[in-house]
Amino acid sequence: MMRKLIIAGVLTLIVLAGGIPLYVQRYFKEEVVAGPSVTNVFKLSKYFDGIEGTIADTDVFELKGAEEGGKTLIIAGTHANEPSAALLAYFFIENLEVEKGT
């Protein structure tokens, strides 16, 4: 009986040791510095209120140029195993200078 309790305790510690870092990472807030062309920042729930208040309610950055022009949509971070896409989106938000369009 004592052996089962020890095994259960060790397994619980292993699960906690692996699960706590994942929990912390899930709620980690990445600081994004808005670049010169960012004109508006709002939540994704503006378009779908079903995600309001959840972890899926992410920031949307709108970049506008001084003149009217074409529009481009960049979506990144949809797959957790593709960090380069999210990094590129951060690069655009922080450095892109839009002259025309949105």
- State the pTM of this model: 0.69
Alpha carbons 58 and 78: distance in angstroms, whole number: 11
101: left (phi over 0), alpha (psi -120 to 50) or beta: left
Q: Give 38-63 pLDDT, tens digit per residue.
A: 999 999 999 999 999 988 888 999 99
Name which of 34, 36, 48, 30 is nearest 86 in CA terms.
30
The tokens for 73 are 């949509």
- Give 32 or 8, the one with higher predicted confidence: 8
SS3 25: helix
Q: Where are the domains of the chain?
A: 1-30, 31-102
